[in-house]
Structure 1
Amino acid sequence: MRASRLLSILLLLQTRGRLTARQLAETLEVSVRTIYRDVESLHAAGVPLYGDAGPAGGYQLVDGYRTRLTGLTTEEAEALFLAGMPGPAAELGLGAVVAAAQLKLQAALPSELRDRAARIQERFHLDAHGWYHDGDQSPHLAPIAEAVWNQRRIKVCYRRWKAPTDVTRILEPYAIVLKGGKWYLVACGGGRVRTYRVHQVLDLTVMDESFDRPADFDLAAYWRAFLVEFRTRLYQDEATVRISPDGLERMRELMSAAVVDSVSETATAPDEDGWVTAVVPIESLQHAHTEFMKLGALVEVLKPYELRERLEATARGLSALYLSG
């Protein structure tokens, strides 16, 4: 375990440059005192590593030094091939690059690891898209990704849901996120970081102007906070519903996790027919109407009354349409 950590320290410094003892400790999930001991061990082994004190200090390797320790464990080699997603990579314009990298990695691996990695590709496939759509198709995804990488400002014509729907923005693209088969751009515009759906970009110009990406911007932390805020804004009301046993099964396939979880938490004991009553979050009356129509007669909305009226009107319209003949 300690030998693996020493190698990790070496590779972290080789790839990231100067790092403080605290940064190393947080990355490797050990104490700062442990990092001090490990650095002493690396010194004793002849690794040209030095440290500077002060606010701008930290540890770094002597310029030009690179380790030749590139060995992979069996689990690490398997994980690298399992992490490869050819579909999203191709959408970003990197399909050929990923394929070439995997080929080189296979060639460099010992025969045992190469065989195990090949079995991973034969037996596991990662598909990031949802069941009911094939993901976003946007001609602007690859150039946006290149602008993110090269830290170039972009000018976009973007379609949003509220009026005016089509707006023009100058953005500093920080990152791209793939979620549920949909691509999102995290960018700073007007001094505020926001999330944009790449599919909604109508026109794109990559500008000659570069920008400095904030060194302290944490993409994972931003995305976690964005999801929490999004879910809070998404569900503005709630509905009380009765659900049949078959409806409970279908709901797990058709409804969001928030709705399914709410049913599990609030459902009453089943009545003599197996129906339960539960309270579920809804985005809006219109959205809830569409969602509950998916379940047909497997669910009954008790309130809000306006939503119940909408569903009754739809049911009467369907009855008139299909019984008229």
Structure 2
Amino acid sequence: MRSDRLLSIMLLLQTHGQLPASDLADRLEVSVRTIMRDVEALSAAGVPVYTVRGPHGGIALLPGYRTDVTGLTADESRALFVLMSDSAHADLGLGQALGSALRKVMAALPAPHRPEADLASRRILIDPVRWRGAPGPDRPAPDLAPFQEAALTGRRLRLRYRHGRDRRTRTYTLDPYGLVSKAGVWYLVADHDGEPRLFRTDRALSATVLDQPAQRRDGLELTDVWQILRRRIDDIPAPLAVTVRVRDKVLARFLRIHEPDLAAPTPAESPPESEDEGEPGWTRIELRFRSPQAAETLLAFGADAEVLTPEDLRQALARRAAAVVALYAPCQDT
């Protein structure tokens, strides 16, 4: 749309200073003639834009002219600040750069959008790494509206919740800190009776926002409480050591799914172990699971992944596989 292009021209000139018309045309994927028409339209609308002729000429804004128009709506501003966890940027060495970039973007946002963007950055967090040994999301995404409303408005939430282990249903009155998406599964981080708790939103039977203000502990933000809860789960020991060999044709997918279970990184340069010249290659991998039940997820790879040790896990998986074969065996007429 032309209005988007006019805004882009202003922002490019504001950021880079004088630019040749050909440079603007390349950046915006239009012709130089279109750029010149757009410059005329900006000038007619009162934007102090002018052209400089000659080999070192170009298009520029009058010195000192600034616009705080970014073209972002309130929802777009909020979405921009719903970011991945700090660890993801720190791993790339971009932690300080991220903070600097956000400060600059915040300063450029229209003033009415800034409070909502800042609030979103403190109440919603994206953590892409799965829990150790946990499968991916297996349920449709829940209605997050009441959770988000409670978190963003600072109000209490009454939650009717079915627990995963004992399947019991309980009702809680919670003080929310915010929402966390953990590898596609949404969690509510909240205090219950002053203690930090974690609730899977897809196990909620109902969620009602109350008129009471949330009573969060002073000085704590979502990231602080999330780190406490995350460490409690991630630090649970995984005592079951498992050695498995995986066919090379599925190795990339296997490592992607079982990355949290790796006992140690698999060297990229290590050659796969071949059975013989006629067989495809295999790679041996060391894993850690919290229980034999958690290791049963290896059956999803069928004959492309074989447990080598421990022997009792091999036997347990063999029994599970035999039960599946028996279930699907064709009926024999007598």
Provide the TM-score with structure 1 as the length reference. Answer: 0.53
Residue 83 in 1 paired to residue 83 in 2? Answer: no
Residue 239 in 1 paired to residue 242 in 2? Answer: yes
8 Å contact kept, 1:266–1:278? no
One-letter code aligned to 1:256: H
8 Å contact kept, 1:184–1:195? yes
CA–CA separation in structure 2 for the residues paired with 1:316 and 1:135: 28
Map 1:94-105; keep pairs closer than 5 Å. Answer: none
8 Å contact kept, 1:237–1:282? yes
CA–CA separation in structure 2 for the residues paired with 1:307 and 1:133: 26
Corresponding residue for residue 298 of structure 2: 292
Distance 1:266 1:170, change over 3 A: farther
Map 1:122-271; keep pairs closer than 5 Å. Answer: 136-139=140-143, 141-163=144-166, 165-233=168-236, 235-253=238-256, 255-259=257-261, 262=264, 264=266, 270-271=272-273
8 Å contact kept, 2:156–2:212? yes
CA–CA separation in structure 2 for the residues paired with 1:205 and 1:318: 43
Map 1:16-55; keep pairs closer than 5 Å. Answer: none
Instruction: Give 1:260 shift.
Output: 5.1
Map 1:55-74; keep pairs closer than 5 Å. Answer: 71=68
8 Å contact kept, 1:154–1:170? yes
Distance 1:209 1:244, change over 3 A: same
8 Å contact kept, 2:187–2:201? yes
Distance 1:295 1:304, change over 3 A: same
- Among 297, 321, 324, which residue is 1:315 paired with? 321
Corresponding residue for residue 311 of structure 2: 305
Q: Residue 295 of structure 2: SS of its match in structure 1?
A: helix
One-letter code aligned to 1:270: P
CA–CA separation in structure 1 for the residues paired with 2:216 and 2:78: 30
Tell me the percent identity. Answer: 27
- Among 287, 290, 301, which residue is 1:283 paired with? 290
Corresponding residue for residue 64 of structure 1: none
8 Å contact kept, 1:259–1:281? yes
One-letter code aligned to 1:302: L
Distance 1:314 1:144, change over 3 A: closer
Higher RCO (CA 8 Å, separation ≥ 6 residues): 2
CA–CA separation in structure 1 for the residues paired with 2:238 and 2:164: 17
- Bigger CA radius of gyration: 2
8 Å contact kept, 1:136–1:183? no
CA–CA separation in structure 1 for the residues paired with 2:188 and 2:309: 38
Q: Residue 159 of structure 2: SS of its match in structure 1?
A: strand
CA–CA separation in structure 2 for the residues paired with 1:150 and 1:217: 16
Corresponding residue for residue 272 of structure 1: 274
Instruction: Give 1:308 shift.
Output: 0.9
Gaps of 5+ in 1: 1-67, 86-104, 107-127
Q: How many residues align?
A: 211
Q: Residue 147 of structure 1: SS of its match in structure 2?
A: helix
Instruction: Give 1:246 shift.
Output: 2.3
Distance 1:318 1:159, change over 3 A: closer
8 Å contact kept, 2:180–2:188? yes
One-letter code aligned to 2:310: P
CA–CA separation in structure 1 for the residues paired with 2:269 and 2:156: 50
Gaps of 5+ in 2: 1-64, 83-108, 111-127, 131-135, 276-280
Provide the TM-score with structure 2 as the length reference. Answer: 0.51
